[in-house]
Amino acid sequence: MIDISILDVFPVLLKGVSVTIQVLVLSAIFSYLIAFIAGFGRLSKNVLVRKFTGFYIEIFRGTSLIVQLFWFYYAIPMLFNVQVGSELMAGVLAISLNYGAYMSEIVRGSIIAVDKGQREAATALNMTRFQQMRLVILPQAVRMMLPEFGNYLIQILKATSLVSLIGMTDILYHGNMLRSTNIAMAPTIYLLILVFYFILALPLIFLTRKAEDISKKGVASS
Amino acid sequence: MNWKWDMFFDAFPFVVQGLWITIALTFASYLFALLFGFMWTFLKRIPNKPLNWLVTWVMEFIRSTPPLVQLFFIFYAWPMVPGIGMTLSPFTSAIVGIGIHYSTYISEVYRSGIESVGKGQWEASRALNFTRWQTWRKVILPQALPPTIPMLGNYLIIMFKEVPLASTIGVTGILHMANTYGAHHFRYLEALTIVAILFLVLSYPAAVLVRKLEEKMNRRFDKNEILKEDKGVVM
Amino acid sequence: MPQVMDKEVKQGVQQDEPIVKYENICKSFGDLEVLKGIDLDIMPGEKVALIGPSGSGKTTIIRMLMTLEEPTSGNIIVNGKNLWKMNKNDHLVRANDKHLRQIRGDIGMVFQHFNLFPHMTILENCTTALIHVKKMEKKEAEERSMKMLEKVGLGDKFDAYPSQLSGGQKQRVAMARALVMRPQVMLFDEVTSALDPELVGEVLEVIRDIAKDGEMAMILVTHEMDFAQEIADRVVFLDNGVIAEEGTPEEVLEKSNNERLQSFLHRFRNGNGV
């Protein structure tokens, strides 16, 4: 007798929420971090640094996230004969390096997009290069980055579902488990999973809209 | 370091067998997304508030939930839906799943293209007494479509990199072949590396091409703002 | 260049020494030679107006002094020190950032497009360099800035953001921002040409005010001929990358026989100068 309902599916999926959020938060933090490092790397005066960062970005943007994830999880331990990779580490590493590469282009683009006159005015006030970046360029560039950063947060949330494929017990993993024993419940299970993700995405959607508002104000329009 | 070249050369022909599936699926789901995206754009232009609201949120829902789950839904759940459900092959499921997900993005591209045509063009068409259909065909679309081409090209590349998701429901593309090879030989390293290389070799030149096209279009149409909207969606 | 070395040895600046000295300055952008050997001295407190057709290189002259553009050849001496070259093991080498910073502290600039910092309030625009560059206490910096804002007639706007101001107000803030740094030389780069005609007056009024104080040397790149005549001690006419005429406003704007200058002025007075 198949007598499971939404009320039975719900608590099962709920067990995975904390893992999903954990992967989301860690990946987001590292993605942003990498985005800034690589974004500045691409703007470096040192050719070697610039080329190297460019190489990293092309590699990670040129391949598929799911391939990168499997590569980190299955191939790296074999390549170096070490078992560094916990699932969490492989998952967060793959997602962060992938989205860090994409977002580094936003960091770079925003810094370049700050009006040239801003840097000149800062020079005329005798600021050091570091002060120019910290006090004048970055505050404006970050405002420009915000909406895209918000968009990518939603992308990262969606990407976290991949970690179920390397055995992390996130929302999708629990859903898949339940489906494998109750195939008839598949519609309820997957619809509910989608709703779970959507509810997690909602605050991010509103955050992104808010970011768009902030971004519209307070940027130089010479 | 534990790299074996003989494994690499042994796995290569095996993995490459999946390449045609991967490429075919890319184009099939892309075509699906192009058509479905058109439908969204059309629906959104119907001047009806509740309908508009509904379409907007359905699109938002599709866009902000994982394509992997959507794929599972279509493959595992759709056949179980009473009444309208039917069993779809893994390949068809992947076309529909990936296609629908990206149709919401493609629709935004269409929208930005249409909005980039100035209001004056509509007014001029009215002044010339064109019919609605003539206005679209002769005036709006010829101006709206060309600037979207680089963005649409971008989405083809993005979807190409998204297609290996289908290996999870058994579509035998390159990732699936590599996993099969890996499981057989208890060695994933070389096979997965081949997959990565194949993606890189195919997508990088395409990306360069799109960038070139983008610059060219930028110069020709001088419509920087809509082209800048590249969201770089992977996943 | 022995004479350059000599100057670096001298301590302090006498009253009759120029505060800025351009020595045979050339500047090219790619194939385009914009300046072809400029020699120009600015005395302390002197007000100099640079005029000339667009593309004559007048803006480039002051941008090089502000270190926004590097000369292709020649020397710029500020307060007896070579701006773009520094002494290293008894050799003159290209100046590094630190050297430029030491010297350009005496120079301030107001830009055509204001270049206010849009993410800061009016007051913060003025105080930020005092606090971070001059290492002044925040309170002191604010007091000094408020005084300056009142002087340019914007004391009540200290809390506003640049986007809330008119063009003329923005330019007055930009001047206050430069003035609080108390430079010895102030550069004005076509400060009224981005403004609506009805807003030009309020900005010129402030410049007139500053000029009256007398202490500070000023170099104005301008298209306002009447204004140049009114406040400048000296007018310099640039044409084709060289100084074609130079002298008191009266000499240059009224009595000169230079044909190019005549036709330039003629075009201007007929109202289509640029």
Domains of chain C: 2-106+183-269 (3.40.50.300), 118-182 (no CATH)
Angstrom distance (rounded) from CA C176 to CA C150: 9
Whether the pLDDT of residue C73 is over 60: the answer is yes
Taking CA atoms, B150 is separated from B4, B145, B215, C77, in Å, by 40, 10, 9, 52
Of the options 1.10.3720.10, 3.40.50.300, 3.30.210.10, 3.40.50.920, the CATH number for the domain spanning B5-227: 1.10.3720.10
Whether B64 sits inside 8 A of A201 (CB atoms) is: yes
Residues of chain C with pLDDT > 70, as a percent, come to 93
Query: Across residues C170-191, what is the average pLDDT?
Result: 95
Helices (H), chain B: 5-16, 19-45, 49-63, 67-72, 90-115, 119-127, 132-134, 141-144, 149-162, 174-185, 189-221, 224-227
| Beta-bridge mates of residue C243 | C238
Angstrom distance (rounded) from CA C241 to CA C252: 18
Tell me what pLDDT residue A3 has. 52
Mean pLDDT rounded to a whole number for chain C: 89
When divided into structural domains, chain A yields a total of: 1
Q: For residue A106, is it within any domain?
A: yes
Nearest CA-CA distance, residue A93 and chain B, Å: 16
CA C40 and chain centroid, separation: 14
Whether the pLDDT of residue C194 is over 70: the answer is yes
Nearest to A121 among C105, C111, C119 (CB): C111
Determine which of C64, C99, C113 to mutate to test the interface with A (most A C-beta atoms within 10 Å): C113
Q: For residue A205, is it within any domain?
A: no
Whether the pLDDT of residue B4 is over 70: the answer is yes
Whether the pLDDT of residue B1 is over 80: the answer is no
Tell me what pLDDT residue A92 has. 96
Residue of A nearest to B188 (CA): A75
Nearest CA-CA distance, residue B173 and chain A, Å: 12
**ipTM score of the complex?**
0.91
Whether A124 sits inside 8 A of C66 (CB atoms) is: yes
Q: Report the CATH number at residue A130.
A: 1.10.3720.10
| Beta-bridge mates of residue C188 | C110, C220
Q: Is A143 in CB contact (< 8 Å) with chain C?
A: yes
Q: For residue A51, is it within any domain?
A: yes
Residues B31-48: pLDDT tens digits?
999 999 999 999 999 999
Rounded to 5 degrees, φ, ψ at C12 are 70, 170
Q: For residue A7, is it within any domain?
A: no
Range(s) of the domain holding residue A101: 19-168
Whether the pLDDT of residue B232 is over 60: the answer is no
Q: For residue A176, is it within any domain?
A: no
Determine which of A126, A143, A145, A216 to mutate to test the interface with C (most C C-beta atoms within 10 Å): A126
Query: Across residues B190-206, what is the average pLDDT?
Result: 93
Determine which of C117, C128, C145, C195 to mutate to test the interface with A (most A C-beta atoms within 10 Å): C117
Q: Is C50 helix (H, G, I), strand (E, B) or coil?
A: strand
What confidence tier does C145 reach under pLDDT thresholds 50, 70, 90?
very high
Tell me what pLDDT residue B125 has. 92
Query: Across residues B181-187, what is the average pLDDT?
Result: 90
Whether C132 sits inside 8 A of A135 (CB atoms) is: yes
Q: From first to last of its 222 residues, what are the pLDDT tens digits of chain A?
A: 345 677 888 999 999 999 999 999 999 999 999 999 999 999 999 999 999 999 999 999 999 999 999 999 988 887 877 665 688 999 999 999 999 999 999 999 999 999 999 999 999 999 999 999 999 999 999 999 999 999 999 999 999 999 999 999 999 999 999 999 888 889 999 999 999 999 999 999 999 999 888 887 655 443
Angstrom distance (rounded) from CA B47 to CA B52: 7
Mean pLDDT rounded to a whole number for chain B: 89
Tell me what pLDDT residue B227 has. 36
Residues B78-119: pLDDT tens digits?
998 888 888 999 999 999 999 999 999 999 999 999 998 988
Question: For the stretch C185-200, what's the b/e string if a residue is b when 16 or more beta carbons lie within 10 angstroms of its beta carbon?
Answer: bbbbbbbbeebeeebb
Helices (H), chain C: 2-9, 58-65, 97-104, 122-132, 138-151, 167-179, 197-213, 225-231, 249-253, 259-269
